[in-house]
């Protein structure tokens, strides 16, 4: 046992659990790839100001949760706490928006870091798959991304998730609502940190999960009552497109999420089987983020779905994913010549697309067959001196126990036929 352990609030991902995480990432990304989203990958750390400008100085993410560091050259960097700002920065830096084919559609997957109080479903290091559609203002794009997320969850077998939907308005109607909300909040009995938040971004107070705060928010003005005509029409189109696609949603007038850059469409996926950490993913439109980080006007929309939270949701529903076999064929050599021959067979099988493993370390037949069974292989290939002298390899079906001798030159074809 090592004297070192994973840092508090983090985890190691190892087999067999890692296979489930990989399957979840694949299921989430598959609908995106079919919809024309290309893969993007960004550094694990960025300039601190990218997040303080983009995510928002009033958010808990920036004020309390970012891991920051100063380089030897004096640069202030932060481990990325979310993916949107990084992906948009990368797209702007590469001038993807100038190619003339908007929106730019990107998807990504990786680890993100926030200094939070560790608890079930809430880690300081977590995994997400995200998607961004950059450079187009179209309710069909908002609906597309939501539908792709719903399809991903359904493909995994999840059923008990709910979609919460809201509109946060735009630069025309948000200021009017902001003023009305600030006036209401200033009359409440709130702590100093929350009062400062009222002046920076009062919508953050609506997102406060503390019961003492939520009790006082009864009667607070709602964004839906202040939406301008264009935002109302936009939101209604999103709702209509989702309904036509068979997507069930709940209107949640208090939904603002934890990031400052959202405008208009805002949504969150929750799962009631996860307790207090019920959110499994979410996103929305962020039409002003590009200008916030020094780029041109590029209305955009996106989401991020938590891989960790999705795995917990699958477990809560008792869903067992059909995972590809790590090993289909297990080779058991008996003697040095058999090691040479069967190692060549394993290499050939792998190159033919068959998942094959080998009994290393010169173990005897009994120990090697135990390993074959533990690997859940369907077929064992066994060869000793007598088999090689006869030019055959024993092919054993580990399910039925049936065994037959196959000419060595035909073993790859025989294995593939046996596997169907």
Q: Which residues are annotated as a binding site?
A: 82-84, 114, 128, 132, 257, 261-262
Positive/negative CA dihedral, 66, 307, 209, 249: positive
For residue 362, report the phi and psi dihedrals to the nearest 5 degrees. Answer: 65, 35
Residues in binding site for L-histidine:
82-84, 114, 128, 132, 257, 261-262
CA 320 to the chain's CA centroid: 18
- Beta strand pairing status for 300-306 and 104-113? unpaired
DSSP-assigned letter for residue 298: -
> Given the structure tokens 């019961």, which residue do they identify?
211
- Encoded tokens for 318: 């008792």
In whole angstroms, what is the distance from residue 195 CA to residue 79 CA? Answer: 28
Collapsed DSSP state (helix, strand, coil) of residue 328: coil
- DSSP states of 111-163 as a string? EEE-----BTTB-SEEEEEEEEEES---HHHHHHHHHHHHHHHHHHT--SEEE
Is the separation of the CB atoms in 27 and 20 below 8 Å? no
């Amino acid at each position: 046992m090592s004297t070192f352990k994973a840092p508090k609030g983090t985890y190691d991902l190892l087999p067999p659990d890692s296979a489930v995480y990989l399957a979840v990432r694949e299921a989430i990304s598959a609908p995106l790839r079919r919809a024309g989203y290309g893969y993007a990958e960004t550094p694990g750390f960025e300039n601190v100001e990218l997040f303080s400008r983009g995510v928002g100085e009033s958010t808990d993410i920036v004020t309390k949760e970012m891991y920051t560091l100063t380089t030897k050259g004096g640069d202030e960097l932060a481990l990325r706490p979310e993916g949107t700002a990084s992906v948009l920065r990368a797209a702007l830096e590469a001038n993807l928006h100038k190619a003339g084919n908007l929106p730019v559609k990107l998807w990504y997957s990786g680890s993100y870091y926030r200094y939070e109080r560790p608890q079930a479903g809430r880690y300081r290091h977590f995994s997400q798959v995200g998607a961004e559609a950059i450079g187009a203002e179209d309710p069909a794009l908002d609906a597309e991304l939501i539908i792709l997320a719903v399809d991903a969850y359904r493909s995994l077998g999840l059923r008990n998730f709910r979609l919460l939907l809201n509109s946060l308005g735009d630069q025309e109607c948000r200021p009017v609502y902001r003023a009305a909300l600030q006036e209401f909040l200033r009359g409440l009995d709130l702590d100093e940190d929350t009062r400062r938040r009222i002046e920076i971004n009062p919508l953050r107070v609506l997102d406060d999960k503390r019961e003492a705060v939520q009790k006082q928010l009864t009667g607070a003005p709602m964004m839906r009552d202040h939406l301008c005509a264009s935002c109302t029409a936009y939101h209604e189109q999103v709702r209509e497109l989702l309904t036509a696609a068979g997507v069930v949603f709940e209107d949640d007038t208090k939904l603002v999420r934890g990031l400052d850059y959202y405008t208009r469409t805002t949504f969150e996926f929750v799962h009631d089987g996860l307790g207090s950490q019920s959110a499994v993913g979410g996103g929305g439109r962020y039409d002003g983020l590009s200008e916030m980080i020094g780029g041109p006007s590029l209305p955009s929309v996106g989401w991020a779905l938590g891989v960790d939270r999705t795995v917990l949701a699958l477990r809560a529903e008792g869903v067992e994913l059909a995972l590809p076999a790590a090993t289909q064929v297990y080779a058991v050599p008996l003697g040095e010549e058999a090691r040479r021959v069967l190692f060549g067979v394993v290499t050939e099988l792998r190159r033919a697309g068959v998942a094959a493993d080998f009994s290393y370390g010169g173990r005897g037949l009994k120990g090697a067959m135990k390993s074959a069974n533990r690997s859940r292989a369907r077929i064992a290939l066994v060869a000793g001196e007598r088999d090689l002298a006869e030019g055959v390899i024993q092919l054993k079906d580990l399910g039925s126990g049936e065994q037959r001798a196959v000419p060595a030159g035909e073993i790859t074809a025989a294995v593939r036929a046996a596997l169907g």
